[in-house]
Structure 1
Amino acid sequence: MKKITTLIVLAALCLNFPLYAQFYGGVIKPVKTGETVPDLSFPLLSNNIVKSARLSDYRGKLVILDFWATWCAPCVMMIPKMDSLQKQFAGKVVFIPVSSQPQATVTTFMKKLNQQKGKHYDFPEATGDTTLVQMFPHSFLPHYVWIDQEGVVRSFTEFQDVNAANISKFLESRVPEMKQKIDAKPMAYIDSIPFLMNGNGGDGSDLLYHSVLTPYKPGLGLGILQTPEKDGGFRILGRNMNPLQLMAIAGGDKGRLYYMDLDEIKLDVADTAKINSNAIGQEYDEWLANGHGYCYELKVPASMKRHVFEIMRAEIQKFFPDYTVSFVPREKPCMVLESTGDHARMKPKGGTPATAMDRFGATLTNRPLRFLVAAANMKQVTKLPWVDRTGYKEPVTLTIRNGFDNLDKLNKELAVYGLTLKPGTQTVNEMHVSDKKEAASTQTTPSR
């Protein structure tokens, strides 16, 4: 039996997070490869001083624009690498990170990152950008624009192409040898209304039940949405998912609705390339578009809400009849959040319900502890997933300031609120996918 070797859902999401707010054909004409960059002025933050800058200020050097965001994991991963490359090619290469996020957001994030890494990453930063994003429209982050010493755009690439070997070749010949990043124009899409409804017979606001399956949709991005509906029902949406991802979503159980970990999925199929791919970025998009990507939505009324995953599992089995999906319960290591005593310090004092978490800490305002656990698992702040066994269901307010790398420090903070986090185990449903055999029985309902 083969064990899957890629994180089938979350790994792709940050890499290909769609930027639906980008401009196409706005007041500034997009610049293509081979064209000279217009010498427009834009605000630049350098050494904590905001000043006006132009790309011509860097003529004579290779300029690499890095379009990024603080929530994009591959973008953050590239910060130390870009710092190293800029030092290696000092005087020849300059990286300019470009973010549409406000200056305060980027500055606060970089300060925390510097403290965590024990280093100071100092790039000329374009924050709150509305100019460069019109020059270089794109659908996915991170996005890199290579501009030669004369101000001519030579290449658009993904993060894996930003390396010393490619920079050295570029400085020698100015001829990019990297594969060009191609972005599909973002498709109009709003999460809050039913997928594919166009007003025919109504706006879809009174839908009780529907199920939709389409092939890959360029420009729609990759994503998972699982949400209660205003009418008491429930909706599951997977945008541009591969077959294995759809199977995993359908196999979700309490506390792990969005994904299944690597060691919870085992494959026994002759051709794994039909249902999953190890490719990343543009190559992965091309694989999806070549008959391996699907968009799926299921909406059920309140009376069927408790059966929503059972319904999805039955539909996925019909969509992919060549495979048998079964679930086998087993014990798995986890981090257990438990109650240790008095919870008076975490009782809310009012305020708008909110959850904020990153690698540096977390703030939970007027929400139950399950929101903290869900955020920890989505952000993967620890190597093992969290499980809530406090039994405390009331809304709380708490703050974690010292990150999650040191369990002793974390527990000192949690102790103030009558909580502790410690290693434990949980029962999970391991998903087995195999080629369908005529005599084999099919088990499609996970053990509870």
Structure 2
Amino acid sequence: MKDIAKSDDPSVQAQLDRLGQLSLPQGRFGLETIRALLARLGDPQKFLPPVFHVAGTNGKGSTCTYLRYILEAEGLTVHTATKPHLVRYNERIRIAGNLISNAELAALLAEVLDASDNLSPSFFEVTTAATFLAFSRHPADACIIEVGLGGRFDATNVIDQPAVCGIASLGIDHEAFLLAPEEDTPTEPLARIAFEKAGIAREGVPLVTQKYPAAAALAVTKTANTTGALLKMRGYEWDMRADETLEYMDAAGTLSLPLPVLSGVHQADNAALAIAMLRHQSRITVSPAAMRQGLRAARWPARLQRLSHGPLAALVPGHELWLDGGHNPDAGAAIARYFAGPVHLVIGMLASKDPEAIINPLANRLASLTVVPIPGSEAHGANAFGPTATAAASVSDALAAIGPDHIPILIAGSLYLAGEVLRLNGELPD
């Protein structure tokens, strides 16, 4: 399974090898297995600090990042679970601000895998159980938990009473899972995606969302009404506008905040969702000063990240070198909004993804288009990207072939590729 990273620690690698043998049985959906596994472990999900649960197609990872930095700016201790990892599996479990140690990770995975006998859990179910077990054993003021795939049947969706739930932007992705035919679900694709994401809603818990097209908004609203969640949708219970500053508005008043330091105009939307989640929950108090500090401090690798030092950057002196893991149409649109002028694109995409998602939004400004493989994964070849695309054997070869024209270079198309780029450039997420 490509999601499994290699580890230099033999004790971790031994457990990653066991984890790599797991997969989701074809056609199995539901939470029965993760609930059974957690029960064997003492139901650690029932002993977590206040949980911020975040779903969405794009932007949920960035929203989690803003939540973490803001809460830490308030002086609070925060556990964070995000996915996927880019280089090391440890990135998925952050305990009190720090990536989980190799020793604790190896012991946790062994404990969960040993407890899973005869259950046939998936990679994601074991990962989620290990995460909840880790978080339950370390004191903290808050937990931030990112949904993996969908929401309704995601392994994280066993938390009974989170402090608040959030849904970031919606788009069409993971169609084989999220659009699988099922009775009594919306038939319009984006509405079905919205229905799946809104499956994290809980009775009496604020469900804070972005604003969506009518069919998707209706699906979210119906789910909130059915579950008894307290729907707080952008454009109704809260809103924002961004220019030189981020102006956030809700019934409690207006906040004038700095724009987030993460690149891209879409990051103001993600930051505003984090602010709205904080403002609409009642279990933790956060000051505007902490919000301002957190927005300025937030870091989130491989999301329009500029690489300024390292072996790869040294291959293209005089160029700005950018990295983004986006791979769907919404991500492509966000990238295109950032690069207004010409750009050299080095791209690698999984064979299951649509090449046009990134190529089309940038089509009129591509100075060159080079297609690279993704180590360990089945990826599209250059022929999938049109007649102007050329192939290179590696990212290093692709960069070395770009001339000294000072046009920005973007490496994009896959988080798996992004992780390999960070590893090669010596920028391991910490």
Q: Same fold (TM over 0.5)?
A: no
More strand by share: 1
Task: Give the structure with the larger helix fraction.
Answer: 2
The structure with the largest alpha-carbon Rg is 1
TM-score by length of 2: 0.28
